[in-house]
Structure 1
């Protein structure tokens, strides 16, 4: 028996929240509970959960998950589930390290040798987007994702639609696949127009064409277009995903491992989606711990199709450049080759966290504040 002896968390730049669990024999596991704009709330939830974990057997990952869920009358939602995610990921890391195997080995073994990945490109002008896509191509990516637009009104200019189409055409001209993230910024009248305009140009998917709080128009949109519809970063449990699977309104689900209950719940969500012939493409514009956890799921999950990963230009935390490899001693494990990342084979999550650097950066890191958009009329719009 090796009960949990301590639970710590570290707020680090640029906007990540890491969790460390240590057992009574000084074995360690790392998790990530990043929830952008709500760091202090998640820290409060971790503080509340800590007393429920300390002293309990670290190997009993499922029991601890169920204890938090079943004994919480008020449960679910982004803050609660992000805190649980960080703890769950850390427990899986600790257990697999103890046994000297990757987490995917404990989840049934791998079904693939490498994982298809994509990266983000920003910018509003077609030339800017294409230039960034060219950089990503040079980094080894063969697929990217871009914003459909910035803030958009309920009924906006046709130029919004035309600009998005031109950016998609530019990236496709590089021989790359491109996903288009509506980010829930569009409302029903504009979402229908943009989706139909994009259809002839074959995007890989459209993401959050409408906010997931509007399931009825999402279902309607799915019947109007052939482009795969993806969503799920703002759904936090298998019960949240259930109605979208049941009404066949989504083709790709994008749960975030740092928001949806960790490795345990993401694996359950993926299995439920497979029964509906829906693909898995986890959301992850986050840190290295969340990405490593996603790659463990990718290795052992049949309906996994592609993985988002956050990239910058360098692995240089000291210079203020926060790539996905920041805070990791072995960032080469995230190397992208011809659009793929190799399955991680090291014990646990397959990464070695630079704890000294994490503690140093955490000493002075303040909470990250969410951004927002204001329209020309001064009205607030979705981020």
Structure 2
């Protein structure tokens, strides 16, 4: 059964931010904090678009991203936890440099600076930077997590129930992480169904740290479910209804249905990622 009925969330502000300036990120972060969130995540490195970007010197492509992070930290103060997602856009030496540049921002984690398949690089980055690291959002099955569990590649693992094999597999991954004294912070920049599924399983894990919440995207998000998704003071209130705790509210689904929309397979396993 659930060990917690209230799961602490962090607000992923990234897709909400249209003005991709330091001020734009800072404003969004402050709005999320004002709503009660005690942790924020942003993906600030828009300029890291390809393998040939400038990595060092005064024109390094990561410098605007660092300024965005610093602006957010100034906006939210020191008491709010702050995480940075790098979307695997760096290489090892660059990631270490940027990690040290961000030292004054007091991050609670530095997420996926290099691709999760580069486990040796990730382990060296983890040893070199002055903050916790996080990764493993795209890995399938508890066996796929083996190096992250046995070699402590990162400090926090981020299983995603949509990609890692489902509810039972997520529970196995969390239990294996517990044996290796690794925290679990599920990856879920998704809609309320995926969040509800994640919440039901991760609420049973003693090494659960925090859950991702896609903040500020549409104001009808919570109403897609019945009973509605309930967030209070930056915490998801776990539903006691059977199954995932919710069912789809088809009135809201139909009200926002897009004509001629098509769905593609978003599985990271099938995509070979």
TM-score interval for Structure 1 and Structure 2 normalised by the shorter chain: 0.7 to 0.9
Matched, 1:300 2:207: no
Using the alignment, how far apart are the partners of 1:345 and 1:226 within structure 2?
Answer: 40
Using the alignment, how far apart are the partners of 1:223 and 1:347 within structure 2?
Answer: 43
Using the alignment, how far apart are the partners of 2:219 and 2:264 within structure 1?
Answer: 21
Structure 2 CA distance for partners of 1:195 and 1:285, relative to 1, 3 Å = same
Q: Which residue of 1 aligns with 2:231?
A: 335
Q: Which has the higher helix share?
A: 1
Q: Is the 8 A contact 1:147 1:182 kept in 2?
A: yes
Matched, 1:344 2:244: no
Q: Is the 8 A contact 2:184 2:209 kept in 1?
A: yes
Using the alignment, how far apart are the partners of 2:112 and 2:141 within structure 1?
Answer: 17
Matched, 1:155 2:55: yes
Structure 2 CA distance for partners of 1:276 and 1:369, relative to 1, 3 Å = closer
Q: Is the 8 A contact 2:41 2:82 kept in 1?
A: yes
Q: Is the 8 A contact 1:171 1:177 kept in 2?
A: no
Write out the 4+ residue segments of structure 1 that deviate beyond 6 Å after TM superposition: none
Q: Which residue of 2 aligns with 1:219?
A: 123
Using the alignment, how far apart are the partners of 1:235 and 1:265 within structure 2?
Answer: 11
Q: Which residue of 1 aligns with 2:7?
A: 115
Structure 2 CA distance for partners of 1:155 and 1:273, relative to 1, 3 Å = same
Q: Which residue of 1 aligns with 2:28?
A: 132
CA displacement at 1:164 relative to structure 2: 4.4
The DSSP-based 3-state class of the residue aligned with 2:145 is helix
The DSSP-based 3-state class of the residue aligned with 2:25 is helix
Structure 2 CA distance for partners of 1:313 and 1:218, relative to 1, 3 Å = closer
- In structure 1, list runs of 5 or more residues that go unmatched: 1-108, 317-322, 371-383
Q: Residue deviations 1:332-354, cap 9 Å, x none?
A: x42232x2222221222111312
CA displacement at 1:162 relative to structure 2: 4.2
**How many residues matched?**
253
How large is the RMSD of aligned CA atoms in angstroms?
2.4
Using the alignment, how far apart are the partners of 2:258 and 2:107 within structure 1?
Answer: 39
Q: Is the 8 A contact 2:44 2:66 kept in 1?
A: no
CA displacement at 1:328 relative to structure 2: 1.5
CA displacement at 1:299 relative to structure 2: 1.7
CA displacement at 1:222 relative to structure 2: 1.2
Q: Is the 8 A contact 1:117 1:309 kept in 2?
A: yes
Q: Which residue of 2 aligns with 1:264?
A: 168
Q: Which residue of 1 aligns with 2:248?
A: 353
Superposition pairs of residues 137-216 of structure 1, within 5 angstroms: 137-152=33-48, 153=53, 155-156=55-56, 157-158=59-60, 159-160=63-64, 162-173=66-77, 175-216=79-120
Q: Is the 8 A contact 2:200 2:244 kept in 1?
A: yes
Using the alignment, how far apart are the partners of 1:182 and 1:233 within structure 2?
Answer: 13
CA displacement at 1:216 relative to structure 2: 1.2
Q: Which residue of 2 aligns with 1:47?
A: none
Using the alignment, how far apart are the partners of 1:313 and 1:287 within structure 2?
Answer: 10
Q: Which entry has the higher C-alpha Rg, 1 or 2?
A: 1
Q: Which residue of 2 aligns with 1:255?
A: 159
- In structure 2, list runs of 5 or more residues that go unmatched: 267-273
Structure 2 CA distance for partners of 1:247 and 1:174, relative to 1, 3 Å = closer
Q: Which residue of 2 aligns with 1:366?
A: 262
CA displacement at 1:362 relative to structure 2: 6.8
TM-score by length of 1: 0.61
